[in-house]
A = this chain, B = another copy of it.
Amino acid sequence: MTIGKLSKKTGLSAYTIRYYEKKGLIKVARDAAGRRVFDEADVEWIRFIQRLKDTGMLLRDINRYSKLRYQGDSTVEERMKILEEHRKYVLAEQEKWANNMKHLNEKIQIYREMFMS
């Protein structure tokens, strides 16, 4: 699969995919002509990167995880620890969002009363 196909599959722009490769987040195979070649495993890995990004992990930290992943199964424990640490962060964020949502609802309610009366 070419970078264009992968871009369509993942929703990342080709620019961004190249940028992720340059940063070290993904390692990419090449064909005889020097063009990037991707497979389904790359798609899965990109999707996981997107999840980490969506939950506020910085590329810097995703990169740390990525380096371990490319080192193979011996790094499973360390990767698990990173994810467990990140899980704590996500839980805290969810709490923050819930709290902010509560206040947002209250504010809207106040406005609604002001506007109705």
Interface residues of A (CB under 8 A from B): 48, 51, 54-55, 73, 76-77, 79-80, 83-84, 86-87, 90-91, 93-94, 96-98, 100-101, 103-105, 107-108, 111-112, 114-115
Contacts and interface: CB of A to CB of B under 8 A. Distances in A.
Copies of this chain in the oligomer? 2
A40 B42 CA distance: 53
Nearest to A112: B80
- Top-10 shortest CB links A-B: A80-B111, A55-B100, A51-B100, A83-B108, A76-B114, A77-B115, A76-B115, A90-B101, A94-B97, A76-B111
A83 B100 contact: no
A105 B114 CA distance: 44
